[in-house]
Amino acid sequence: MIQLLKIYSSLIEPLINIIIPSNCIFCNAAMENNKKIICEICYSELKKAPVVLEQKLRQEINNPNIDRIFIGYEYSEKLKMLMHVFKYERFTALASHFASAIATLIRYPEKIDLILPVPLHPRKHRERGYNQSELIGKSLACLLSIEYRNDLLERKKYTISQTTLNKNDRIQNVSDAFFCSESLHDKTILIIDDVITTGSTLKACAECVLKNKAKIVHLAAVTTPPF
């Protein structure tokens, strides 16, 4: 099996890339790698999130025990499309771009003990095949040399999609949804998700981690749509 994978990645995959070149979904520029969806130029044009956004999110999430909230990009139609294909259409190579954007915001990575992704319920994980927050979290941990664990925070409740719910229903939907399997005594934790919509999912995760004795909790996401 490993041998077959090696043959695929060394011989077949480069051939597929030549036969089926991909084009940037925004400017139509041809790209060598068919796993890409956006060219480097269009990617570099995405706007970084404004500083005021953290303040707004802090008010929205309203938990004084949450320290920093790191947001990579300002929300836009381009980013909305990228987040969609990243989450639902397996363009997972975007994870490293997203992680780089968040990494530039974190000035003291050495003070963070652990990065935890927002978990999916095992059933949803099976249905989707991957957890998009895990991919960003793993990439970010690698960039900043921080320990990464995807087995500490678990989602014990199968929640319906938050997208159709109002704020109160979202809070209710994720309340008691998470479980932390170990004590996080005295640790500084960064919890990462792909998008912050109302913040109720990340807030529920942060509360779970704080209940397990974490000292400081930071949150991070690629973007957040206007409230």
Return the range that interacts with Zn ion (CB under 5 A); candidates 6-14, 19-27, 97-105, 128-136.
19-27
Return the range that interacts with Zn ion (CB under 5 A); candidates 16-24, 44-52, 54-62, 97-105.
16-24
Tokens of 206: 């942060």
Q: Which 76-95 residues touch Zn ion, going by CB under 5 A?
A: none
Q: Which 32-51 residues touch Zn ion, going by CB under 5 A?
A: 39, 42
Min dist. Cβ of residue 24 to Zn ion (A): 3
Return the range that interacts with Zn ion (CB under 5 A); candidates 26-34, 95-103, 163-171, 184-192.
26-34
Q: Which of 24, 61, 105, 142 binds Zn ion (CB under 5 A)?
A: 24
8 Å CB contact between 102 and 93: no
Which helix (H) or strand (E) segment holds residue 175: the answer is: none
- 20 versus 52: smaller Cβ distance to Zn ion: 20
Report the 10 Å Cβ neighbour count for 34.
15
Which helix (H) or strand (E) segment holds residue 222: the answer is: strand 216-224
Report the 10 Å Cβ neighbour count for 129.
8
Q: Pairing mode, if any, of strands 114-117 and 147-148?
A: parallel
Min dist. Cβ of residue 138 to Zn ion (A): 26
Report the 10 Å Cβ neighbour count for 81.
14
* Positions that interact with Zn ion (CB under 5 A): 24, 26-27, 29, 39, 42
